[in-house]
Amino acid sequence: MERALEVRVDTGRKAVLSQVDLFRGNLGKVKSEWKSDHSRVTKIDHAISLNLQTQIKELYPLDHYCSEEGKDTGTPLRLENRFSWIADPVDGTNNYALGVANCAISLGLLDEGEPVYGFLYDLNRQVLVEGGPGAGLLEDGKKVKVLPEEPMVNRSIVGMHFPLPAKRLEQLMPIIQTQRLRSLGSGALNLFHAVIGRIDGAIDFKVKVWDIAAGVAFTKATKRAIYFPEGSPFPLKEFSVNLPFCPYYAGTESFCSEARTLLNL
């Protein structure tokens, strides 16, 4: 691994792990606030975002730091420098605020706009997932193997985020009616479990780039498929808290083939 990337990976790992006690200790104990888009936020979302930014910018002042909880400046930030960090300080804030541990800290490292490494602290299992192309995938520092693909015979497990757009709901009804669905309440965790093969696939039409930046790096590490039916957001050229959704489907090739057919892609 190139030295410039290696030192940033070490920084990202330390930065995420430094927030674990704060993250764990406030599960279900924080007051909810509401953003202009009606999504939930808490003081822990803001605190973790600021703490990650402080640690990263102290060492790499020229790197871009982009967070879901950043300020709305009205003008997108042009990502002109080589490295950018994309953070979702609490992915699954609805769960977190209500005391449901299906949530995560997600941090992706981009090189020229492409995800090259990701970190995901899974609060429910209390493990740090990390990895990227050429580095494989690790949980608490131990290599993780991708589970082998099995034939889809109406017993596959599929992660979805509801509600779905009406058109997509109709298109995906064959999967909804026949497969075992999971809605974890965390876009980052849904994608991760599909990437590692713990579920056969995931489909999400309500994620934004901060939900998936780490997970896309994971797909490159495991060589699992991911597709963007409305166009990939990567390489990411600019950042704003008002970025549009970037729908995706990911998982085994057989699952992705079925999803592609149903979505008329």
Q: Is residue 44 part of a domain?
A: yes
Q: How far apart are the first and last CA of the chain?
A: 36
At residue 153, the pLDDT reads 57
- Last-in-domain residue among 115, 143, 171: 143
CATH code at 38? 3.30.540.10
Residues of the chain with pLDDT under 70: 151-155
At residue 155, the pLDDT reads 66
At residue 148, the pLDDT reads 83
User: 119 with 53, same domain?
Assistant: yes
Q: Is residue 152 part of a domain?
A: no
Q: What angle do CA 46, 52, 56 make, to 5 degrees?
A: 145
Rounded CA-CA distance 183/197 in Å is 16
Q: Is residue 226 part of a domain?
A: yes
Strand 180-182 to strand 157-160: parallel, antiparallel, or no bridges (unpaired)?
parallel
Q: Is residue 237 part of a domain?
A: yes
Q: Is residue 148 part of a domain?
A: no
**234 CB burial (10 A radius; 0-12, 13-18, 19+):** middle
Query: Which residues neighbour 141 within 8 Å (Cβ) at sequence distance 6 or greater?
Result: none
User: 166 with 131, same domain?
Assistant: no
- Look up residue 136 and give its amino acid: G
- Last-in-domain residue among 143, 174, 205: 143
Q: Is residue 60 part of a domain?
A: yes
Q: Is residue 13 part of a domain?
A: yes
User: 139 with 189, same domain?
Assistant: no
Nearest 10 degrees: Cα torsion 201, 205, 209, 212: -10
CATH code at 181? 3.40.190.80
Strand 83-91 to strand 248-251: parallel, antiparallel, or no bridges (unpaired)?
unpaired
User: 234 with 126, same domain?
Assistant: no
Query: Which residues neighbour 80 within 8 Å (Cβ) at sequence distance 6 or greater?
Result: none
What are the strands, taking DSSP E only, across 133-247? 136-139, 142-143, 157-160, 180-182, 201-204, 225-227, 238-239
At residue 59, the pLDDT reads 98
- Last-in-domain residue among 143, 173, 203: 143
User: 20 with 48, same domain?
Assistant: yes
User: 112 with 240, same domain?
Assistant: no
User: 8 with 128, same domain?
Assistant: yes
Contact 26, 105 (CB under 8 A): no
DSSP H or E segment with residue 73: none
Q: Which of 246, 245, 183 is nearest to 37 (CA)?
A: 245
pLDDT tens, position by position, 57-78: 999 999 999 999 999 988 999 9
The structural domain count of the chain equals: 2
Which domain covers residue 27, as residue numbers?
A: 3-143
Q: Which of 90, 77, 82, 134 is nearest to 109 (CA)?
A: 82
- With 0.85 as the threshold, say if the pTM is over it: yes
